[in-house]
Amino acid sequence: MTTHHHNEGSPMATTAESSSKHLGAARDLLEQIEGESDPQVKATAAVAHATLVLAEQVAVARVVMATDAITPAAHQPSAQ
């Protein structure tokens, strides 16, 4: 028997979608200022890019942790 889980309404799915939209918008804004020659703008963009990369890594880690939490480990016997 196969069980299907739908996460459309779950808080984790909603948070992941929201984070993805925000990260995409931030990346678009960074791409718009790539041609700037002002050192202050370049420095700010570099910090923003580093923050964006960290946020993306955190988002991936959250997905991995959530997947691990709901998926039984292969080495653990299932409870009957």
Residue 54's pLDDT is what? 92
- The pLDDT score that the predictor gives to residue 79 is 57
State the angle between helix axes of 11-32 and 39-70 in degrees (0 to 180), rounded to the nearest 10: 160
CA-CA distance, 9 to 11, in Å (whole number)? Answer: 7
pLDDT in the model for residue 62: 93
Which residues in the chain come in under a pLDDT of 50?
Answer: 1-8
Q: Determine what percent of the chain is predicted with pLDDT higher than 70.
A: 66
Domain ranges of the chain: 39-70
Tell me, yes or no, if the pTM score tops 0.75: no
